[in-house]
Amino acid sequence: MTLGTLLSDLGPDISEIIASAFANLPQKVVWRHLGKRPKSLGNNTMLVEWLPQNDLLVLGIPLIFDQYDNMVRLKSREVAEILEVTTLEVESMTSALKNILDPKKPYKQNMVKLSQLHLDKPMKPIDSALFWMEFVMRHKGAAHLRTESYKLPWYAYHCLDVIAVFVAFGLLIIA
Using CA atoms, how far apart are residues 35 and 26, in angstroms rounded to an integer? Answer: 24
pLDDT for 8? 67
The residues, ordered by sequence, that sit 6+ positions from 67 with a Cβ below 8 Å of its Cβ are 60
| Higher local confidence (pLDDT), 10 or 45 | 45
The residues, ordered by sequence, that sit 6+ positions from 127 with a Cβ below 8 Å of its Cβ are none
pLDDT for 6? 72
Percent of the chain with pLDDT over 90: 76
DSSP 3-state assignment of 97? helix
Cα dist from 24 to 27, 73, 84, whole Å:
9, 28, 20
Using CA atoms, how far apart are residues 169 and 157, in angstroms rounded to an integer? Answer: 21
Domain ranges within the chain, ordered by starting residue: 12-106, 125-174
pLDDT for 64? 85
* Beta carbons within 10 angstroms of residue 12's beta carbon: 12
Hey, which CATH number is domain 12-106, 1.20.120.450, 1.10.3720.10, 3.30.70.260, 3.40.50.2000?
Answer: 3.40.50.2000
Closest CA to 89 of 33, 21, 12, 28: 21
Model confidence at 124, pLDDT cuts 50, 70, 90, reads very high
